[in-house]
């Protein structure tokens, strides 16, 4: 058995930053050369970042990406490189992988299976490729694929394997959700066994608006053994000496395989041994993080990248003394550094002494600045001005929303004055049922825990305290009953069912499209299920104006769930 040294560059490109992404490629190229790699693999669409969305409709953007690829190719000498880019022909554009050998593009593969579900809109932009591609390097026959090509059992891998591929190189921009890494590993083990191939699966890493790419690149052999696993949520260069028994190509038997193009790469002029003595790479198999750590690190990476890629160095968060703003502050400090986070405490007469103490303690624990500004006087002046219009009407949710909006105004004023990114603190449970104020607590640039259900907020908070070795988040923040503190003695459970029940119903309804009978069968009363379904449906208008936030569940709000606002479907008769 011969061997080939493969380097997977798990990198973090930025959408639209063609020049910056090209620099990233050359940086990892240099690192791969230092490690004597023979085959270097970059993620899907690494030149443009993923997803470029409607930038893909701009002809100049496509041309610029082609120009960058041409410029890069000439620099990638001395090894073979696989690199994601956008190709173009008279039929349209393609999500493509270039095969660059010693400074020249020697082949291009067009993604054949285009995802057009969930957050994906690839059929909006791309034509589907029709021609699988193998290449032969140092005697290894390898098939090239892009993302969905390997997710689909009907993908090109079986044709590629039939035509002699013993290795499938699959490049990805596969976004994170909880447990996705384990799902992916299972899927790849299945696919590797079914096609009797080793799969080299390289994923992008980094945050892009609502998506986080978790990296987690994998090399898996046909027996299901994990030969390499890149770390989660960080850039990495995974170097691995691959040893594979070459298969006989079926075409040797029957002359077939004309459905797969095969490119035979010439040996490199400069052999590995001539460059420099490189040690044999040690096995590189990163551990999988646990469930809470996984989500936490996704939130940190998503927040850091949203901030930095949009050129915000500093964030501001309104601390209420409650658990949602606490976890957001912890994430922000880890993402941006404590010196780059400012917290504000905006109490009203309904704010408890405990909330103030807890906010102060949290800010101290995190080492962040805490500004304070009571809102009662401003509220009073609004209510005085509105009194003539409100005559004869009782107090209702109007006065509560006004408090939230005053806080929103103050936080936005700080943002405007200092160029700070406002991180909003609402969780998925609240946003699902509309227990949030538009332009109030929903005001801000990025919504860190937008897709984290309240019950998971608690679990992660416990994990944060445990993993840190001390209660960064003051104990009482976790144990006290949650309250919006917008009127006297208010508690969330005055208005909402207990979060354990609410979150279970929401998962079934929002993420799994269960109908009313199925949800009742989980053990909930018809009235409760109807109430929750109706709350979700009628607050769609709020979600449409919500800040973007990090997807961590199989179905997030935003591009992932496209519901009409005008919608009279109730789901029962």
Shortest Å distance, C-beta 329 to a second copy = 18
Burial class from Cβ neighbours inside 10 Å (0-12, 13-18, 19+) for residue 297 reads buried
Q: What is the C-alpha separation between 300 and 286, in angstroms, rounded?
A: 19
Shortest Å distance, C-beta 217 to a second copy = 22
- For a second copy, the closer CB: 285 or 516: 516
Shortest Å distance, C-beta 197 to a second copy = 29
| Residue with token string 């801000």 | 444
User: Quick one: which of 351, 359, 277, 287 has its CA closest to 324?
Assistant: 359
**Contact criterion met (CB below 8 Å) for 9 and 32:** yes
- For a second copy, the closer CB: 299 or 477: 299
Q: Catalytic pick from 36, 147, 163, 257?
A: 147
Shortest Å distance, C-beta 349 to a second copy = 16
* Residue 111 is among the residues annotated as catalytic for this protein: yes
DSSP class of 340? G
- For a second copy, the closer CB: 467 or 567: 567
Beta strands 369-372; 421-424: pairing state: unpaired
Buried b (16+ CB within 10 A) or exposed e, 126-148: bbebeebbbbbbbebbbbbbbbb
- For a second copy, the closer CB: 229 or 543: 543
Q: Estimate to the nearest angstrom the gap between the alpha carbon of 342 and the chain centroid.
A: 25
User: Quick one: which of 244, 240, 254 has its CA closest to 192?
Assistant: 244
Shortest Å distance, C-beta 510 to a second copy = 10
- For a second copy, the closer CB: 20 or 290: 20
- In sequence order, what are the residues at sequence separation of 6 or more whose Cβ sits closer than 8 angstroms to the Cβ of residue 452? 295, 299, 427, 428, 460, 552
Beta strands 39-41; 3-10: pairing state: parallel
Shortest Å distance, C-beta 243 to a second copy = 40
- For a second copy, the closer CB: 370 or 528: 370
DSSP class of 487? S
User: Quick one: which of 195, 200, 241, 197 has its CA closest to 217?
Assistant: 200
Shortest Å distance, C-beta 78 to a second copy = 29
User: Quick one: which of 375, 360, 437, 444 has its CA closest to 406?
Assistant: 375
Residue 13 token pair: 């490109």
Q: Catalytic pick from 36, 38, 44, 343?
A: 44
Q: What is the C-alpha separation between 343 and 241, in angstroms, rounded?
A: 49
Q: What is the C-alpha separation between 562 and 544, in angstroms, rounded?
A: 9
CA distance readout (Å), 66 to 49, 85, 269, 310, 328: 14, 8, 27, 25, 40
- For a second copy, the closer CB: 268 or 370: 370
Q: Residues 350-353: contacts with CB within 8 Å, 24+ apart? A: 350/403, 350/485, 350/486, 350/487, 350/488, 350/490, 351/320, 351/321, 351/485, 352/321, 352/485
- For a second copy, the closer CB: 187 or 383: 383
Shortest Å distance, C-beta 488 to a second copy = 19
Beta strands 315-319; 341-345: pairing state: parallel
Q: Catalytic pick from 36, 38, 111, 511?
A: 111
Active site residues: 44, 111, 147
């Amino acid at each position: 058995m011969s061997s080939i040294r493969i380097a997977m560059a798990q990198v973090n490109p930025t959408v639209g930053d063609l020049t910056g992404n090209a620099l990233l490629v050359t940086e990892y190229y240099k690192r791969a050369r230092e490690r004597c790699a023979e085959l270097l693999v970059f993620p899907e669409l690494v030149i443009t970042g993923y997803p470029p969305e409607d930038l893909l409709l701009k002809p100049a953007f496509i041309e610029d990406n082609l120009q960058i690829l041409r410029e890069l190719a000439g620099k990638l000498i001395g090894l073979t490189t696989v690199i994601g880019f956008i190709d173009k022909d008279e039929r349209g554009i393609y999500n493509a992988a270039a095969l660059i050998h010693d400074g020249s593009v020697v082949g291009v593969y067009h993604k054949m299976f285009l995802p057009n579900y969930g957050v994906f809109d690839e059929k909006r932009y791309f034509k589907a490729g029709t021609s699988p591609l193998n290449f032969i390097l140092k005697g290894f026959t390898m098939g090239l694929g892009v993302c969905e090509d390997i997710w689909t059992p009907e993908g090109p891998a079986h044709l590629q394997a039939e035509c002699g591929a013993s290795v499938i190189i699959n490049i990805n921009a596969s976004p994170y959700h909880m447990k996705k890494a384990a799902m992916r590993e299972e899927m790849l083990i299945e696919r590797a066994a079914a096609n009797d191939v080793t799969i080299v699966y390289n994923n992008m890493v980094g945050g892009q608006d609502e998506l986080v790419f978790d990296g987690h690149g994998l090399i898996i052999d046909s027996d299901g053994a994990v030969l390499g696993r890149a770390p989660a949520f960080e850039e990495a260069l995974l170097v691995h000496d691959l040893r594979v028994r070459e298969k006989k190509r079926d075409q040797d038997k029957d002359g077939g395989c004309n459905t797969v193009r095969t490119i035979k790469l010439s040996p490199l002029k400069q052999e590995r041994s001539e460059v420099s003595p490189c040690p044999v790479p040690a096995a590189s198999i990163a551990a999988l993080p646990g469930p809470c750590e996984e989500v936490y690190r996704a939130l940190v990476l998503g927040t850091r990248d949203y901030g930095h890629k949009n050129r915000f160095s500093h964030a501001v968060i309104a601390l209420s003394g409650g658990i949602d703003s606490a976890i957001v502050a912890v994430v922000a400090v880890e993402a941006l550094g404590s010196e780059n986070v400012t917290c504000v405490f905006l109490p009203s007469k309904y704010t408890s002494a405990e909330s103030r103490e807890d906010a102060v303690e949290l800010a101290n624990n995190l080492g962040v600045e805490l500004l304070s500004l009571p809102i009662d006087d401003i509220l009073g002046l609004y209510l005085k001005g509105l009194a003539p219009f409100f005559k004869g009407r009782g107090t209702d949710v109007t006065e509560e929303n006004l408090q939230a909006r005053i806080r929103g105004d103050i936080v936005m004023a700080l943002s405007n004055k200092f160029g700070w990114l406002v991180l909003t603190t609402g969780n998925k449970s609240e946003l699902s049922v509309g227990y949030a104020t538009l332009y109030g607590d929903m005001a801000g640039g990025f919504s860190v825990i937008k897709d984290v259900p309240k019950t998971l907020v608690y679990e992660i908070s416990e994990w944060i305290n445990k993993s840190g070795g001390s209660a960064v988040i003051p104990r009482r923040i976790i144990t006290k009953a949650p309250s919006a503190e917008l009127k006297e003695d208010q508690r969330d459970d005055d208005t909402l069912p207990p979060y354990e029940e609410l979150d279970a119903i929401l998962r079934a309804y929002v993420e799994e499209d269960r109908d009313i009978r199925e949800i009742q069968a989980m053990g909930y009363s018809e009235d409760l299920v109807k109430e929750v379904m109706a709350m979700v449906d009628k607050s769609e208008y709020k979600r449409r104006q919500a800040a973007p936030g990090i997807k961590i569940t199989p179905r997030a709000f935003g591009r992932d769930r496209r519901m009409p606002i005008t919608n009279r479907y109730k789901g029962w008769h």
